């Protein structure tokens, strides 16, 4: 499952993967992921920002 607030990620992968997309803030999407982990889901990877600083982009996937 891909969890994202990035519309481009949603459009690219929606036909290939189970995807949860919501227009929301960076903080809200992290809270959503946290809640899924507390329900027993396993986090396989974390949202990498590469060289982009967290305050420079509102998106996480």
For 51, the token pair is 């060289």
Rounded Cα gap, residues 21 and 50, in angstroms: 21
| Domain annotation covers residue 19 | yes
> Which residue stretches of the chain have pLDDT < 50?
none
Rounded Cα gap, residues 42 and 61, in angstroms: 15
pTM over 0.85: no
Domain that holds residue 37: 2-56
User: pLDDT tens digits for 16-32?
Assistant: 999 999 999 989 998 99
Total number of domains constituting the chain: 1
Instruction: Determine phi and psi for 2, rounding to 5 degrees.
Output: -105, 130
Instruction: Determine phi and psi for 43, rounding to 5 degrees.
Output: -85, 115
| Domain annotation covers residue 61 | no
């Amino acid at each position: 499952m891909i969890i994202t607030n990035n519309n481009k990620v949603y459009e690219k992968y929606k036909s290939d993967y189970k995807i949860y997309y919501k227009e929301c803030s960076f903080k809200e999407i992290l809270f959503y992921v946290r809640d899924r982990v507390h329900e027993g889901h396993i986090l396989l990877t974390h949202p990498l920002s590469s060289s982009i600083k967290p305050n420079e982009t509102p998106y996480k996937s």
